[in-house]
């Protein structure tokens, strides 16, 4: 889109490079890293998810305990009610973020199941798509389509290939000083997926056939080359400028 952008190639060897669980995990981890490194969330996404799960479980336990202790001492009731208020406040602070991340991953999963020819994705951080503060563009080259996600695809962290690739991508971003600038205030994060022009999922994605952003922005471009164990070399790079692809 612009000259002078920072580029990096990541090579990923995998026995199943086209598994959609890898794509979903990669988007989620890159999204979380982008938010954290640009000071939009207080901790890495994985830690916040664990905290949210723990608070939710504690809230359920406290509510059950309070319901059973109607005849217990008033001091014990006050202590439990006070803790319950604290837990609910913590849940409220994290709930919007958790729901947003879950919605993004669910939408991408639906998209991959409908149109498996995914060419890459964009993470745009800023007040709007037209005038972003930071842009991260990730493209793929692989010898097939992303397969449909299995029923247990929600447990993305159990996929060793997905974990290994995500670590490579995060290291590549860190090596290029991604998010190394000062805090510029609260911002929105837009997720764009590169798909064929025949793709249509209006409830989750709004097609942008000729998407452009400010020329003042120098995007960080990352190209991921998948290689299977039996292949002799990397497949041809996806043509990201093809007219039959849209964001």
Does residue 16 fall inside a structural domain? yes
Q: pLDDT below 50 — which residues of the chain?
A: 1-3, 14-17, 152, 154, 156-157, 229-241
Does residue 77 fall inside a structural domain? no
Does residue 133 fall inside a structural domain? yes
Asked if 124 and 213 count as a contact pair (C-beta separation under 8 A), the reply is yes
Strand partners, 227: 13
Of 166, 199, 162, residue with least CA distance to 21: 162
**Count of domains forming the chain:** 1
Structural domain that includes position 192? 6-41+116-246
Which pLDDT does position 2 carry in this prediction? 46
Asked if 161 and 209 count as a contact pair (C-beta separation under 8 A), the reply is no
- For tokens 């960080």, the residue is 220
Which pLDDT does position 232 carry in this prediction? 41
Which pLDDT does position 209 carry in this prediction? 67
Query: Per-residue pLDDT tens for 66-111?
Result: 888 776 677 788 899 999 999 999 999 999 999 999 998 888 888 7
Query: Per-residue pLDDT tens for 24-42?
Result: 888 899 999 999 999 999 9
Strand partners, 224: 10, 140
Which pLDDT does position 201 carry in this prediction? 67
**Dist CA 244 CA 38 (whole Å):** 33
Check which CATH number belongs to the domain holding 153 and give it: 3.30.900
Does residue 73 fall inside a structural domain? no
Does residue 85 fall inside a structural domain? no
CA 205 and chain centroid, separation: 15
Does residue 63 fall inside a structural domain? no
Asked if 156 and 206 count as a contact pair (C-beta separation under 8 A), the reply is no
Which pLDDT does position 52 carry in this prediction? 97
Does residue 66 fall inside a structural domain? no
Does residue 71 fall inside a structural domain? no
């Amino acid at each position: 889109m612009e000259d002078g952008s920072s580029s990096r190639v990541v090579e990923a060897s995998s026995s199943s490079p086209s598994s959609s669980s890898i794509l979903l995990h990669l988007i989620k981890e890159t999204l979380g890293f982008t938010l954290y490194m640009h000071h939009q969330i207080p901790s890495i996404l994985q830690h916040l998810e664990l905290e949210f799960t723990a608070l939710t479980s504690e809230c359920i336990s406290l509510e059950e305990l309070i319901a059973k202790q109607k005849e217990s001492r008033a001091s014990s009731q006050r202590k439990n009610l006070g803790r319950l208020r604290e837990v609910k406040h913590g849940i409220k602070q994290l709930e919007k973020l958790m729901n947003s991340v879950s919605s993004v991953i669910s939408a991408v999963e639906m998209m991959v199941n409908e149109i498996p020819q995914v060419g890459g994705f964009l993470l745009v951080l800023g007040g709007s798509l037209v005038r972003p503060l930071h842009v991260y563009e990730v493209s793929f080259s692989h010898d097939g389509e992303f397969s449909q996600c299995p029923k247990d695809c929600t447990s993305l962290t159990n996929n060793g290939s997905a974990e290994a690739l995500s670590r490579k991508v995060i290291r590549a971003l860190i090596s290029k000083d991604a998010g190394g600038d000062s805090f510029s205030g609260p911002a929105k994060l837009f997720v764009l997926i590169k798909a064929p022009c025949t793709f249509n999922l209006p409830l989750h994605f709004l097609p942008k056939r000729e998407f452009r952003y400010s020329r003042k922005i120098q995007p960080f471009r990352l190209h991921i080359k998948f290689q299977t164990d039996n292949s002799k070399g990397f497949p041809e790079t996806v043509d990201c400028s093809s007219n039959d692809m849209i964001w």
